[in-house]
Structure 1
Amino acid sequence: MSEWDTVTKIGSKVTGGGSQRETVVKGKGALNAAQRSGAIVGTEKKFATSNAANKGGVEGQRLTKVDRSDDIVAPQKVSGELGAAIRNRRSKDGPYKMTQAQLAQKVNAPANDIKTLESGEAIKNQALLNKVCRVLKISPKTGLPLDDK
């Protein structure tokens, strides 16, 4: 018999060979069940997925320590003085007298945003603040009227 007469089968449908096929379990329960049954168990930590393995620099990401800070920084809020200036300018008689709903409609924002802006409890949204100050013609930094100069 020559070497051309022998057949080598490769793949999962190969019959014979008395060893069990290697399986992957995804979960703590399945791992514990395999250990209880007496099966040979080997665990490996998988670091990279197929997509991440194709990208360069994955190794450096794993080795880099993330600087974690325990400080929780509160978001910057609109000052009470600026909120009061907006409220005073809007409620005074003259060309800028309007309700919160009317001002909200002019700046294309919900009326609730104008309410929180005037109360000084709003998280600083510079785009909304600039729109409101442009409509009321006041300074977005100081709240002083721009047309009374």
Structure 2
Amino acid sequence: MDATVGWDTQTVIGKKTKQPKVAKNESDARRIGAVVGTDRKTTGGTNKAHQGTDHQKIAKIDRENEVAPPPKISLTVGKAIQQARMDKGLSQKDCAQKINEKPSILQDYESGKAIPNTQILSKLERVLGVKLRGSDIGKKIDGPKKS
């Protein structure tokens, strides 16, 4: 075993050892008497960070994993609502007031842009007297059965 490594060496805790100063260019190094840094940037002189190759790959993966949008109401239901409303002589605004919804919601249902909501459809069935769900869409609903 070497004599310099062992019990004779002194270890100081809490004192930082002097790191050699590193300058970015040669003239700074000469001025402060430091070591000249030879590290080069990997993208030095180019604008590769903003070309977006990785971002394009990530965006493509995101697009592949997108969830399908929820189904919209069919046009046959929209046309049935519109026809029944016209038969009753109601405007969109009047019909919307009767079902306690905004006229824009009724407009979306009639144009086929709305996402179907069973509560709104049942309100419309009640007010218009027409079946809007199931197989016989547009069929008149008989009044409540009397026993």
Structure with higher Rg: it is 2
Compute the TM-score of the two structures, normalised by the length of structure 1: 0.48
Normalised by the length of structure 2, the TM-score is 0.49
